Structure 1
Amino acid sequence: MQPEQEISMGSGFIISSDGYILTNDHVVDGAKKISVTLADHREFTAKLVGADATFDIAVLKIDAKGLPVVTIGNSNALKPGQWVLAIGSPFGFDHTVTAGIVSAVGRSLGLNDQRYTPFIQTDVPINRGNSGGPLFNMDGQVVGINSQIFSNTGGFMGVSFAIPIDVAMNAVQQIKTKGYVERGMIGVYLQPVSPNTAKGLGMSRVEGALVASVVPDSPAAKAGIKPGDVIVAYDGKTINSVYDLSPMVGLTPPGSIAKLTVIRFGKTLDFNVKVEQAPRGKHALASMEQAISGNGLGLTVQDLSAGQREQLNLKAGEGVQISTVSGPSRDAGLQSGD
């Protein structure tokens, strides 16, 4: 008895007249055969040129010439409140157009396998079958790829996410030329900055990304970055939260020099870091994180300054200050700044 074949459906769009098509990786992942139906009802068998699961991007190729193509826009110019349109095939209804506004840009979903994607959040109705379809601005330019929704029921609930077209086209170019996507890495494990952490580290406000640990011999380690540092800017771009840094680093070409601005013991310092290539694949990234995620107690500490020891009536060499807390230490009630 033959096992029943599963058929999945998604959307995509043509990015070159000679048959290159862009869609989501999760639309074609694991497919034995990929069929493409165009707006004029012609059907083609597509070849998978390459894909990147981290960006959720797949590049397909069909044997055709003179195809109509979309106009690529600038997703960096998008702002909350702007109107956008989505075109796709929700539930198999071809060429369905839905509209909404940009709710936020640079949104992180907090997912480890997609930390490098600064998503466009919209309220455009998106459902199954829309994945991989284009998100247009009001000038008819593609500014994103509709990727996923946030839902408790599996249906649309007013929150949908698109991959910025600038990120996608960078990945497309790398896939077409190298067959894979490379990302930058500086070798730090990060945590959010809480109000208690900011107070304990002598910061005037809650901002930045807290360095919980540093990979030995990594770019960050060589540059002088230390656990307890708070990264507040990357190449002049402000880091408002822990989720801002990874996309910036990931999109930096390996070999580039990036300037990190950090707060250490209440002082602002600048470091030049030579970005290296991150391990390829989800499992490689997960293994690296596991290796640097800290000790079993779930905390990192730093030495007290002379002024802090004097204020606490401690002798030289006595005491340390907790800079980051997680796991068992957090459960026990310890806090950053203790």
Structure 2
Amino acid sequence: MSTLQQLNDELASVASGVQRSLVRIVSGRNSVGAGAIWHSDGLIVTNAHVVGRGHDLQVRLADGRTLPAHVLAHSHERDLAALAVEAKDLPAIPLGRSRALKPGDFVMALGYPWGVANGATGGIVIGVGKDFPELPHLAYDGVVANLRLRPGHSGGPLVDFQGRLVGVNMLMNGPEIGVAIAVDVVKEFLRDRLGSSTPETIV
């Protein structure tokens, strides 16, 4: 097997593994974005702008089930929201550390671009933090990479080459630059908002 074929197979395997933890978030009849299963007992993370006012939210799981969801916590400043669904033994996404990322590391974003299931895009990390001249509105640490996020990627997982969550897809800055909320910020958000009820996997 050639090196390129092996790399292709490894990346496809990463995407396939992450898809188990990827969810589609629907408001009424509209598919509005994506999310990731944070904990097996039904905790899901996404963007605040994906859930909007939180009315009539449903989450479609990779196994085909559609479950009603409610908002546990949200922060417009950090553009994060935590949702809950009534389910057990869900495939939670493995957690990484955004502070461990370096420029040049590979990352992959998954979601539902234009409603396409399990849409994946990959790229290289440009930097991690909030001090980017082209992103003056970034109040918290983000992962900036040269990948193309599209409508429907919002709220979905950004993962490293091992399939570990390192960010939550947030926005595009120009045609080639994608920005995700760093997973370490997500951990802080959940600790702040959910406190002692937060699953141990957050830390």
Common fold by TM > 0.5: yes
Distance 1:165 1:49, change over 3 A: same
Mapped pair 1:159 → 2:185: no
Structure 1 residue 29 displacement after superposition: 1.6
Give the corresponding residue for 1:175: 193
Mapped pair 1:128 → 2:154: no
Q: Residues 84-123 of structure 1: matches in 2 within 5 Å? A: 84-108=107-131, 109-111=135-137, 114-115=138-139, 117-123=140-146
8 Å Cα contact 2:146/2:176 also seen in 1 = yes
Q: Secondary structure at the match of 1:81?
A: coil
Aligned length: 167
State the TM-score, normalizing by the size of structure 2: 0.78
Unmatched 5+ residue regions in structure 1?
152-156, 180-338
Mapped pair 1:51 → 2:74: yes
Q: Secondary structure at the match of 1:11?
A: strand
Determine which structure has more spread, i.e. the larger CA radius of gyration.
1
Give the corresponding residue for 2:44: 21
Structure 1 residue 10 displacement after superposition: 0.4
Structure 1 residue 178 displacement after superposition: 8.0
Distance 1:68 1:178, change over 3 A: closer
Distance in 2 separating the partners of 1:147 and 1:27? 10
State the TM-score, normalizing by the size of structure 1: 0.48
Deviation by residue 1:163-198 (Cα, 9 ceiling, x = unmatched): 11001111012211289xxxxxxxxxxxxxxxxxxx
Structure 1 residue 8 displacement after superposition: 4.8
- Taking CA–CA contacts closer than 8 Å with sequence separation of 6 or more, which of the two structures ends up with the larger relative contact order? 2
Structure 1 residue 47 displacement after superposition: 0.9
Distance in 1 separating the partners of 2:31 and 2:143? 25
Distance 1:65 1:23, change over 3 A: same
Q: Secondary structure at the match of 2:41?
A: coil
Structure 1 residue 98 displacement after superposition: 1.2
Q: Which amino acid aligns with 1:91?
A: W
Distance 1:178 1:66, change over 3 A: closer
Q: Secondary structure at the match of 1:9?
A: strand
Distance in 1 separating the partners of 2:53 and 2:110? 24
Q: Secondary structure at the match of 2:114?
A: helix
Mapped pair 1:10 → 2:33: yes
Mapped pair 1:33 → 2:59: no
Structure 1 residue 140 displacement after superposition: 1.4
Give the corresponding residue for 1:60: 83
Distance in 1 separating the partners of 2:64 and 2:31? 18
Distance in 2 separating the partners of 1:8 and 1:95? 13
8 Å Cα contact 2:170/2:181 also seen in 1 = yes
Percent of aligned positions that are identical:
35
RMSD: 1.7
Give the corresponding residue for 1:190: none
Q: Residues 136-285 of structure 1: matches in 2 within 5 Å? A: 136-151=159-174, 157-177=175-195
Give the corresponding residue for 2:11: none
Structure 1 residue 6 displacement after superposition: 7.8
Deviation by residue 1:1-28 (Cα, 9 ceiling, x = unmatched): xxxx883510100011110000000000
Give the corresponding residue for 2:95: 72
Structure 1 residue 73 displacement after superposition: 0.4
